[in-house]
Structure 1
Amino acid sequence: MKIATWNVNSLNVRLPQVQNWLQQHQPDVLVLQELKLDQDKYPAAVFQMAGLHTVWSGQKTYNGVAVISKAEPQDVHTGLPALPDDPQRRVIAATINGVRVINVYCVNGEAPDSPKFEYKRQWFAALAEFVRGEIGRYGKVVLLGDFNIAPADADCYDPEKWHEKIHCTSIERLWFRNLLDLGLTDSLRHLYPEGAHYTWWDYRGAMFQRRQGLRIDHILVTAALRDALQTVQVDLEARGQERPSDHAPVWAEFAL
């Protein structure tokens, strides 16, 4: 079973790339973040005409998440129960072929001294509460998406420059570890404990060409999926296309 995540940074702009990627890589599940589309503007028919199923939670200009899959999604859920009044569309979960897929576009936080950072703290606490419950209900859980956290210095091209900066603060890394402590494994680091495997590069300063990125897109899995894990890949080719997203797709394959 092949499960992939991609922050597309506007599906309107990147739809042809997503269509090509689906055709080329044939994932069983592809989750998207940063749709930047209203609910009624999502191009569901495009995916359905390709024989795929899709569910989504849209939001104009910002945010928005979707799940695209070969099998029909079951038990679809959106949002975080601990934040019932949150207008930001950042979470969608569905069960596909017996796997509970939780797609997240986690809060950026802007800067450690920003009010948005406090929102990020509250949001991650609510996420942990939700994921704890999902793990209790489902044996096979994958939590994946754009986490906006580089978990360790190895996930940053210049740890000294980024020390205690947004995405790389000690408290954000603690929030990430709190998710792992629920019973999740960082799939990429499980297979590849060492080395740079960046997933995001700033558009400015030719950061991709200079190989100066961060690893902030993750695929976290429960033990049942960890034991079936075969490979994890970051698709650098997609990031190198014309008019790319600033994120690369990341995918994992499981012997299921």
Structure 2
Amino acid sequence: MHALTHWLETAKPDVLCLQEIKTVDDGFPRMEIEALGYHCSIHGQKSYNGVAILSRQTPEEVRIGLPGDDSDEQARYIEVVLPAKSGVVRVASIYLPNGNPVGENGDSEKYRYKLDWMRRLKDHAAELLTYEEPLVLAGDYNVIPRNGDTHDPKGWSGDALFRTETLAAFRTIKNLGLYDAFETLDGRDGQYSFWDYQGGAWPNNLGIRIDHLLCSAQAMDRIEDVSIDKFVRDGERPSDHVPIVGQFEF
């Protein structure tokens, strides 16, 4: 909470997408966040998962959960439509499944769930793109898109985050007409968004880039900059993820 409120007060974003809030809706610190001038859209889950979107504007629409599987009880997707000077902007907060362990042949239940979730995300994104709106699908994708997005491509080979099937599924989503904002505007290797708590990952810069802003063409037309707030990882009791920040003129 201290890290969240400090970053909100410092960065003053119009919209913030959160993942792994690990609390039911009633347990979310709504009063503290609202006191800072934000509306809270929440899709929580006890002890696990959970996503939220904090926004200066009150959403016109809120969608809870990723379509395509009514039996899926994991809280990993929330989507809002926000008013903007140019009309509206649609934003989703995504916590894509990790998928490990993958099993001997990539056939574990967790890895199959990851790939199925990505298929559902592709199908939903295809529908959203027909609206021809500014669209930002933001969050922890648990996908390392390129060799340059990890300190150790060989070491990550075969992991659910870097497995061939995962990268193919991610490309299929992008090929609908979505753009990785960081890759498009910056694209430098070695720019990470996650450092494990183990093995001196942060002080030795042993990181990976798995947090992404996937944007429609209409959103990319209005993007001005993208950056990664690495300094957040150096704070008191920090998250192992840091914010990726897109600046848009909507």
Q: When the two structures are superposed, what TM-score results if normalisation uses the length of structure 1?
A: 0.92
Tell me what 1:182 maps to.
176
Question: Relative contact order (C-alpha < 8 Å, sep 6+): which is higher?
Answer: 1
How many residues are aligned here?
242
Which runs of 4 or more aligned residues in structure 1 lie more than 3 Å from their structure 2 counterparts after TM superposition? none
Tell me what 1:6 maps to.
none
- Is 1:106 aligned with 2:100? no
- Is 1:93 aligned with 2:87? no
Structure 2 unpaired stretches of 5+: none
Alignment equivalent of 1:65, drawn from 51, 59, 67: 51
Structure 2 distance, partners of 1:175, 1:84, is 22
Tell me what 1:210 maps to.
204
Question: Which digits, 9 at most, give the CA deviation of each residue in 1:104-152, with x for residues without a partner?
Answer: 0000001221320011111111111111111212411000100000011
- Is the Cα–Cα contact under 8 Å of residues 100 and 138 in structure 1 kept in the other structure? no
- Percent identity, aligned pairs only, is 35
Give the RMSD, CA atoms, in angstroms. Answer: 1.1
How far residue 196 of structure 1 moved from its aligned partner, in angstroms, is: 1.3
Tell me what 1:133 maps to.
127
Letter in 1 for 2:11: H
Structure 2 distance, partners of 1:74, 1:199, is 30
Structure 2 distance, partners of 1:37, 1:241, is 23
Secondary structure of the residue aligned to 1:157 is: coil
Tell me what 2:235 maps to.
241
Letter in 2 for 1:218: H
Structure 2 distance, partners of 1:46, 1:138, is 35
Tell me what 2:9 maps to.
23
Tell me what 1:75 maps to.
61
Secondary structure of the residue aligned to 2:130 is: helix
Question: Which digits, 9 at most, give the CA deviation of each residue in 1:178-202, with x for residues without a partner?
Answer: 1111110000010112321111111
Structure 1 unpaired stretches of 5+: 1-14
- Is 1:170 aligned with 2:160? no
Structure 2 distance, partners of 1:22, 1:242, is 15
How far residue 166 of structure 1 moved from its aligned partner, in angstroms, is: 2.2
- Is the Cα–Cα contact under 8 Å of residues 54 and 73 in structure 1 kept in the other structure? no
